[in-house]
Structure 1
């Protein structure tokens, strides 16, 4: 099935009915794979038929040796010589083995291709859906838990489709084919040989109900373990700095022990099923061996047919010893499918609009009576009214927790306001598609993220088609070119994951270059120079003055010296705008801004 990248959900699952049957939901979801599934079932069926025929040939060979010219083979083929009859059986056996081998190969390719295809499509669809979930969802969910669903759960489902589903089909076919042979030979032996099967089926259902919650616990435990490991590896520097290695080892050990115990409980219940199946098999095999043998001695059953039934009983019942393993795979696959589909059912609360901005984009931003907050918590922003005219640079300042970052999240539409409007060139941002909204913006976060790759790749991330000259010009505009050229490979220098090989100031300059390369209509800077020294900050400010001459800019800053030349400065306090004006106007007003300015410049607070 072609991957529906960009579609959040190709279909809406019926929660009340299909939520209890995740594998059925997958069947309905990935209808494009049904043809491959049917072909795989057909090849497996052919393979199982060819797999059963050798037992029939053994019985026929025994019949030839015992009955001679009157054998079943002789009558069917019209061949009198027992040597010729055995020769024909050998030829048929070769053909059967060739068919069995070829059908097994084709079936394996089809089943594995099916499993890999569903695994790939489901992982990409789930990842794409996760990308479109709002930022608040990501912030409240451990990244390791999401990673466990996208990776481990998808792998568990793939294993079931690759191994478990074919095993279930093979076992079912085996029962039907062998049952047909028994029915043709002896009704009494059919009943006795098949007597263990209802017991095994009932036992399987009982164990399935017992295993389902156990494997749900396993999937939860592995998500917790993955989340803990992911978080600890991300914070390894903090762990080392606080000599917390032993404490974190013990914490990982506790989470791993919980996973181990959950698995042990599931395995113990699953493993207990095998001895019970063996006892049931023993009963069926003993009945066939004794009763069939007695019937043969009384002349009621041909020796060759008795041989077939003895072999068939083994063929019928022994594969049922794998029911426990298949059940294990089924429960793991079902639990994983439930988690994956549950992730896909999470609604996208900040969906893209359909409107586009008129070109060229002017870059006017307006907030009208905006209230906003996180989740079910109280309002963080209270009735904000703010206008950034096109081409102007406006700064947002205030104490920590005043709502500066929350305001930027609304402008970038990481969140939507609870009431009021955020307008971009007069259009409500909720009505705009992502290309018009975020595609017209350049963003530099306080916590800069770098991808594993070259410096050039990281700068060109927001504009993949940029030329080498454009990348270089953006680096120069961000005052990053000097340190880049000092590196061994310049723009081709490899940056480690999250940019750990670079200093904080270097990462900020690269992020600024990445934003400037987009030539945005609106430049959004969240503490973009907080990690650079005064000299570098001055260089960046000179570059920004040139860059913002062509665009609007919204700058959040704690360091007021970086925004003193802004066209207007908005001062937030507890989610409300308490002052606005130019730097000189606000200092002269001697209010909240002036107090902040005196604190940062070392002047006495009171005068």
Structure 2
């Protein structure tokens, strides 16, 4: 089973920004919304720092009156100057409030839209991935990626993106004002900035791998919960509640420990930054004050510098929280985009559908296939199933019977050989038309949470009740359905837990029959049911196999004695073929298995 990528042990800054670049490429369709939200964030921050400048200007008015900066703009008396500043302050505060409202709306709507599209795209891409992908991955990890990781990105876009933009705008805007007033004080005030930036990237390099590990632990925890809740009956039957609770506690503690390590690094960031900020503030406060006392710096300008130093440096303490959000979001973004970029090996390149009507003439031509990292598979198998005939596949577990079905459904592609339906290679037709022509009833029945009606009509959502009832009758499911209080509206529960195994199997057969496929596959559909259900399915088969190709995988040989052709698969190869009588006469593997199942294993073999 492939393991999830291990967290990087090197510098995490490049990978985090690489993840951001990947996200921006994915979000290029949202470019207008991103530009609009960013513009509103910038304008809001410019309005936000303006009151500090106005305070300094007001001090200048009070101290210098007729010679103040505002007086030079044409406001002669101090009273007129104060009124002008008050009016300007009103419009600045109104503008700040307006653009805060706008950037909140834009960023939050963008976050909602982007997370919804990411989740949808990830799910739709996952549906196109090969079955091997799902056989090698934990469903809990996939659910964590599509849900928790997407939500983590949403939280960053809700507030973190705006905060990062506004920090940059603050540094640039305040820096411009500082250098315009006093380059010397500006240099002193900006001295902590390199320390803060260095600390930010140092923190990022340290925290990045830790948050990647946090995301992995979330996936492990989700996987554990998903597996345990799905297997709750088994846990109860083996009285394993305490053991499973301890295993969950272990996974939960691993998640707590991963978070603890990340929190320890992030918490150390703020005290360091606070001391750097203090150094910058004291430099402005003392040096600027001395210059004001000497008369080389206007008192109002000094006030502007003191207030703007606070405005410049203090928000940087929040940078730790922003970087924390950023690192968590980028760790999640990598997992989401990695899923979206997972390659599809079995590609749906067929442009044309199967020629209608599909007769159901199936041919396996010299097929070979081997599972990745496994010796299991098939070798050079050739079989033909004429339209309307029944082929039974028998053999030991792991011999390759189900592999043939997976190749026919194009869950995998063969390494060698090909499969044709009505003479057309299946890899040249669309998967939709291929799978619409095939009905699958497997041993492991999966019913979706909902009503019996919805489950039977899953392959034909627009089917009428008359068609649903007809399919249920043919599958001999109608008798138990009409005895239920709510009939077709009866809820089956998650995975059909409210129904018996035999009832679920009959509904699965009805679901396949309503689809009316040209090819019906029964993959050990009677191996785990009671005798009554087996007899019912056998009666159904006698009705439905006429004018339909049926491929049956069976361990119970009594269920396939009427098959037109029986193929014995052994070690991935066809060992014997024939009908029931000819295979018994051949006295090979089939005959030996027949004697075991009929209780004549000790019967002497014919000479």
TM-score (norm 2): 0.94
SS at match of 1:495: coil
1:121-520 map, 5 Å: 121-354=117-350, 355-520=352-517
Distance 1:605 1:141 in 2: 46
Distance 2:72 2:422 in 1: 92
Give how far 1:20 is off: 7.0
Distance 1:209 1:409 in 2: 46
Query: Is this contact kept in 2: 1:477–1:540, CA < 8 A?
Result: no
Residue by residue, what CA displacement relative to the aligned partner does 1:465-488 show, whole Å, maximum 9, x if unpaired?
211211111111111111111112
Distance 1:265 1:470 in 2: 60
Matched with 1:11 is none
Distance 1:208 1:117 in 2: 28
In structure 2, which of residues 21, 28, 32 is the aligned counterpart of residue 31 of structure 1? 28
Distance 1:605 1:124 in 2: 60
Query: Is this contact kept in 1: 2:16–2:331, CA < 8 A?
Result: no
SS at match of 1:360: coil
Give how far 1:58 is off: 1.4
SS at match of 1:466: coil
Distance 1:19 1:292 in 2: 40
Query: Is this contact kept in 1: 2:16–2:208, CA < 8 A?
Result: no
Give how far 1:379 is off: 4.6
Give how far 1:201 is off: 0.7
Distance 1:479 1:529 in 2: 14
Residue by residue, what CA displacement relative to the aligned partner does 1:72-95 show, whole Å, maximum 9, x if unpaired?
22331x233333322222221111
Distance 1:18 1:122 in 2: 20
Query: Is this contact kept in 1: 2:213–2:258, CA < 8 A?
Result: yes
1:119 aligns with 2:123: no
Q: Please say which of residues 17-26 and 274-283 is displaced more in the overlay.
A: 17-26
SS at match of 2:575: strand
SS at match of 1:315: helix
Quick one: structure 1 residues 605 and 163, their matched pair in 2 at CA, closer, same or farther if it must change by over 3 Å? farther
SS at match of 1:258: helix
Matched with 2:555 is 558
TM-score (norm 1): 0.94
1:585 aligns with 2:561: no
Distance 2:274 2:468 in 1: 69
Give how far 1:18 is off: 8.5
Query: Is this contact kept in 2: 1:69–1:81, CA < 8 A?
Result: yes
SS at match of 1:544: helix
Matched with 1:47 is 44
1:575 aligns with 2:572: yes
Quick one: structure 1 residues 345 and 271, their matched pair in 2 at CA, closer, same or farther if it must change by over 3 Å? same
In structure 2, which of residues 84, 87, 108 is the aligned counterpart of residue 88 of structure 1? 84
Distance 1:125 1:604 in 2: 56
SS at match of 1:30: helix
Distance 1:93 1:575 in 2: 83
Distance 1:79 1:31 in 2: 49
Distance 1:147 1:539 in 2: 38
SS at match of 1:421: strand
Q: Please say which of residues 288-297 and 98-107 is displaced more in the overlay.
A: 288-297
Distance 1:455 1:302 in 2: 83
Give how far 1:177 is off: 0.9
Query: Is this contact kept in 1: 2:16–2:330, CA < 8 A?
Result: no
Query: Is this contact kept in 2: 1:448–1:508, CA < 8 A?
Result: yes
Quick one: structure 1 residues 243 and 536, their matched pair in 2 at CA, closer, same or farther if it must change by over 3 Å? closer
SS at match of 2:545: helix
Q: CA RMSD in A?
A: 1.7
Query: Is this contact kept in 2: 1:352–1:434, CA < 8 A?
Result: yes
Distance 1:476 1:204 in 2: 69
Query: Is this contact kept in 2: 1:393–1:552, CA < 8 A?
Result: yes
Q: Please say which of residues 522-531 and 177-186 is displaced more in the overlay.
A: 522-531
Distance 2:196 2:548 in 1: 73
Distance 2:18 2:134 in 1: 27
Give how far 1:428 is off: 1.8
SS at match of 1:288: helix
Distance 1:201 1:93 in 2: 33
**Structure 1 gap segments, 5+ residues each:** 1-16
Distance 1:385 1:486 in 2: 46
Give how far 1:509 is off: 0.8
Distance 1:310 1:604 in 2: 99
Distance 2:555 2:251 in 1: 40
Distance 2:166 2:387 in 1: 69
Matched with 2:7 is none
Quick one: structure 1 residues 18 and 193, their matched pair in 2 at CA, closer, same or farther if it must change by over 3 Å? closer
Distance 2:18 2:50 in 1: 36
Q: Please say which of residues 382-391 and 569-578 is displaced more in the overlay.
A: 569-578
Distance 1:501 1:521 in 2: 31
Query: Is this contact kept in 2: 1:571–1:593, CA < 8 A?
Result: yes
SS at match of 2:108: helix
SS at match of 1:453: coil
Q: Please say which of residues 17-26 and 157-166 is displaced more in the overlay.
A: 17-26
